[in-house]
A and B are shown apart, each in its own frame.
Chain A
């Protein structure tokens, strides 16, 4: 029963923990003073009474009754904070200069620079202002959005004068003075005190925390880019912050005299085109000088920084898998997901824990996908959502809450309040759709695979893709078979390389989904728990990155589609994304090639003509998002397409990257590219890959208590792949 799940919110840090490790459960209450906490292993998170049956296994090793809980705030919005306060001789006139690219000038008050009583910002009328103590000057014209300006504030405490001006940039290197405001400083001002931090892109209302790396509270966040801020005296840069350096880090370098580096809080977007960007490069790696800006947002969030409510110590012999911490009161049940993940053999401690020998099968939980979709607001913010799903939006209590509480952070499908795309998502926050509930895409669907593995008594283990990213192929080497889930959409280079290396060293791979291996992502080393994604010029996407900003700040690699970087999914798993099919799922039929005796085992015991004409998502195994075979996109020439979809109608919509000129006949009733293919192929060293080619495949596996032809085919392949005999 769902009972006010938003009364209690929480997250586990880290999201992925090893057997024998500890994760910290952080809870915030919106009302209850106490709750009971229990831990469950998730067998099936699908709570639909007409579904396969939700199933949670109680874990006796952790129970906390009557835990006191309290409300914990979230301080969203990115800003830069000086680690060392600049030292200035205030008797000498000084200037502050910066280039700005404001993105939201008709909103509330925004602070560009805040340093004790000194402040530069944009007022509610969109005009530039400067304050020093109680004195204020304000330009007369409203700023334009998404246009570079150069700002200069000059303060002379000898003559008691303050001058604020800005110039509009005509093109890189050419400025045109636009507005100026001057005022008197009528009284003797207090100087910014020692150790009072300098803040950019927000004003602070609280002190630094114990680490000195963030403020307890901020407000008036600036939306837009700041470039080349500097403090000058007598034409010498006292502080000169060069945002083109250390792009992958979370500090911004002061190349002036004092080394007053800034720490960046809540993950503003790095590798942003600066005022010098000329459009002759798309890479900050190749032309760092043109990427001298940072884009701040008032709704950036990388870490809630909540206090730990309870530490969850995972027993060394705990099974790896999907887990939840369940908080309950008489009125409320709220779940927080975490994962107990395997790790490479040399670190696993299996020799000392007495755990049984490793299983043959490793299921890889695609947490990057879960994070990318976490807390999505597309039902409220994206006008195309209803059209895509061909049905009115059905909004859950959690989604209502998320709409009204943007401080919980956004998904990769959202745009910020200034309409720019969200490139950073974080696990260090409550994620209201990554748990058992009404939102079934990805997390819930994947637990159908867990339920099926349990029902069929396969011995398997689970690792998260985060571990795959960190440990590479070493994580996979002790397994004979890996299973990738219904929607492993977001993959970093180390993750991709690990899967490929496994395949080419005799590993067997079942890909049980669709739209996999689609976007290249980064896991920034300096922002634990964050996934970076850049939307390029292609692919199904709800926003498009600004020109020149498609490269990952965390790695320097091109972001966007793997296909655009020369690695179509077909080159890894034989099939790649072709279409969305969110209504009227369909089914497969065997191909003539499937009767080749080498692959006949796939269909042992299956006599039906239609494969998967049933299921929990749209009534079929071919649905949601589907993949097709294409040797021109890298499918192995010797791969065998053993089944292909039939019956797709107008509900199937060809993905944008699948056609390159405006044309008609793009739906599934007219275009043969709108299809799902099931393929199998051999790899080096006796390895093999079998791909289902549809996100809806797993939610048909569990149909009729896992007794159906989709289940049978999957079982045939998995058993065959577990057999070391050559495929």
Chain B
């Protein structure tokens, strides 16, 4: 029987590579460079326990940040009452959070791009 291993995503990347974070910011829906794709693949394979997700607060209008419990029947945990007004806004924030979680580095872009 095949059961997923929460630790099977092992790709490591340099958290100082702001050019890759910038690439995502500029082109969030892809296609991505090979290295950015690998980073995103890593981010999207984080263990189910604690994985970021979005709860629909108001359909098509607002979305609340949460983390999955990873356990059947146990609801996600709301994160800091953060509410987004678009999926795109949420995806960029989740990207930055995961970057920090995986590398220890904050995503800091220059002011021209980080508007």
Of the candidates A392, A544, A584, which one forms a contact with B90 in the assembled complex, judged by CB atoms under 8 Å apart? A392
From 593 to 623 in chain A, residues with beta carbon under 8 angstroms from any chain B beta carbon are none
B39 at the A interface (CB under 8 A): no
* Residues in chain B near residue A403, CB distance under 8 A: 72-75
From 380 to 427 in chain A, residues with beta carbon under 8 angstroms from any chain B beta carbon are 380-381, 383-384, 386-387, 390-397, 400, 403-404, 406, 417, 419-420
B10 at the A interface (CB under 8 A): no
**Among the interface residues A394, A397, A419, A544, which one has the most CB atoms of the partner chain B within 10 A?**
A394
CA distance A546 to B3 in the complex (A): 12
- The closest CB in chain B to the CB of A391 belongs to B91
A21 at the B interface (CB under 8 A): no
B55 adjacent to A544 (CB under 8 Å): no
B1 adjacent to A419 (CB under 8 Å): yes
* Residues in chain B near residue A387, CB distance under 8 A: 41, 44-45
Q: How far is the CB of B104 from chain A (nearest CB, A)?
A: 21
- The closest CB in chain A to the CB of B34 belongs to A650
- The closest CB in chain B to the CB of A619 belongs to B29
| Known contacts A380-B72, A383-B4, A406-B73; is-contact A390 B40 (Cβ 8 Å) | yes
* Residues in chain A near residue B68, CB distance under 8 A: 380, 393
* Residues in chain A near residue B41, CB distance under 8 A: 387
A392 adjacent to B75 (CB under 8 Å): no
* Residues in chain B near residue A47, CB distance under 8 A: 59
* Residues in chain A near residue B87, CB distance under 8 A: 391, 394
A404 adjacent to B73 (CB under 8 Å): yes
- The closest CB in chain A to the CB of B45 belongs to A387
B53 adjacent to A379 (CB under 8 Å): yes
A7 at the B interface (CB under 8 A): no
B51 adjacent to A386 (CB under 8 Å): yes
A386 adjacent to B44 (CB under 8 Å): yes
Q: How far is the CB of B95 from chain A (nearest CB, A)?
A: 9
B40 adjacent to A394 (CB under 8 Å): no
* Residues in chain B near residue A420, CB distance under 8 A: 1
A546 adjacent to B1 (CB under 8 Å): yes
Query: Using an 8 Å CB-CB cutoff, how does the interface string of A362-382 with B read, 1 for contact, 0 for none?
Result: 000000000000000101110
A584 adjacent to B1 (CB under 8 Å): no
- The closest CB in chain A to the CB of B90 belongs to A392
A649 adjacent to B72 (CB under 8 Å): no
A394 adjacent to B1 (CB under 8 Å): no
- The closest CB in chain B to the CB of A650 belongs to B31
From 44 to 58 in chain B, residues with beta carbon under 8 angstroms from any chain A beta carbon are 44-45, 47-48, 51-56
A45 at the B interface (CB under 8 A): no
Query: Using an 8 Å CB-CB cutoff, how does the interface string of B5-40 with A read, 1 for contact, 0 for none?
Result: 010000000000000000000000111100001001
B2 at the A interface (CB under 8 A): yes
Q: How far is the CB of B26 from chain A (nearest CB, A)?
A: 16
B63 at the A interface (CB under 8 A): yes
CA distance A387 to B37 in the complex (A): 11
- The closest CB in chain B to the CB of A419 belongs to B3
Q: How far is the CB of B43 from chain A (nearest CB, A)?
A: 9
B102 at the A interface (CB under 8 A): no
B94 at the A interface (CB under 8 A): yes
B51 adjacent to A395 (CB under 8 Å): no
| Known contacts A383-B48, A393-B54, A544-B2; is-contact A584 B31 (Cβ 8 Å) | yes
From 47 to 61 in chain A, residues with beta carbon under 8 angstroms from any chain B beta carbon are 47-50
Total A-B contacts with CB atoms under 8 angstroms apart: 90
* Residues in chain B near residue A390, CB distance under 8 A: 30, 40, 44
* Residues in chain A near residue B30, CB distance under 8 A: 390, 583-584, 649-651
Chain B interface residue bracket vs A: 35 or more
A2 at the B interface (CB under 8 A): yes
CA distance A321 to B30 in the complex (A): 39
- The closest CB in chain B to the CB of A541 belongs to B2
A73 at the B interface (CB under 8 A): no
B48 adjacent to A400 (CB under 8 Å): no
A193 at the B interface (CB under 8 A): no
Q: How far is the CB of B14 from chain A (nearest CB, A)?
A: 22
- The closest CB in chain A to the CB of B3 belongs to A419
CA distance A650 to B32 in the complex (A): 8
CA distance A608 to B44 in the complex (A): 37
A669 at the B interface (CB under 8 A): yes
CA distance A9 to B63 in the complex (A): 24
* Residues in chain B near residue A380, CB distance under 8 A: 48, 68, 72
- The closest CB in chain A to the CB of B41 belongs to A387
A438 at the B interface (CB under 8 A): yes
Q: How far is the CB of B115 from chain A (nearest CB, A)?
A: 22
- The closest CB in chain B to the CB of A393 belongs to B53
* Residues in chain A near residue B66, CB distance under 8 A: 395
| Known contacts A380-B68, A381-B72, A383-B45; is-contact A395 B56 (Cβ 8 Å) | yes
A395 adjacent to B76 (CB under 8 Å): yes
CA distance A404 to B6 in the complex (A): 22
- The closest CB in chain A to the CB of B8 belongs to A383
* Residues in chain B near residue A393, CB distance under 8 A: 53-54, 68
A583 adjacent to B94 (CB under 8 Å): no
A669 adjacent to B31 (CB under 8 Å): yes
A392 adjacent to B72 (CB under 8 Å): no
CA distance A150 to B46 in the complex (A): 40
* Residues in chain B near residue A146, CB distance under 8 A: 1
* Residues in chain B near residue A649, CB distance under 8 A: 30-31
CA distance A392 to B72 in the complex (A): 19
- The closest CB in chain B to the CB of A417 belongs to B72
Q: How far is the CB of B5 from chain A (nearest CB, A)?
A: 9
A584 adjacent to B29 (CB under 8 Å): yes
| Known contacts A392-B90, A406-B72, A669-B31; is-contact A2 B4 (Cβ 8 Å) | no
Closest 9 CB pairs of A and B: A649-B31, A387-B44, A393-B53, A386-B44, A383-B4, A394-B54, A396-B56, A650-B31, A395-B55
- List, sorted by A's number, 28 A–B pairs whose CB atoms are closer than 8 Å: A47-B59, A48-B60, A380-B48, A381-B48, A383-B4, A386-B45, A387-B41, A390-B44, A391-B87, A392-B52, A392-B53, A394-B63, A394-B87, A395-B54, A396-B56, A396-B59, A400-B55, A400-B76, A403-B72, A404-B74, A417-B72, A420-B1, A438-B56, A438-B59, A544-B1, A546-B1, A584-B30, A650-B31
Residues on B facing A (Cβ under 8 Å): 1-4, 6, 29-32, 37, 40-41, 44-45, 47-48, 51-56, 59-60, 63, 66, 68, 72-76, 87, 90-91, 94
A-B contact sample (20 more), CB < 8 A, given A2-B59, A417-B72: A377-B72, A380-B48, A384-B45, A387-B44, A390-B44, A393-B53, A395-B66, A396-B56, A397-B56, A400-B75, A400-B76, A403-B73, A406-B73, A438-B56, A543-B2, A544-B2, A583-B30, A649-B31, A650-B30, A669-B31
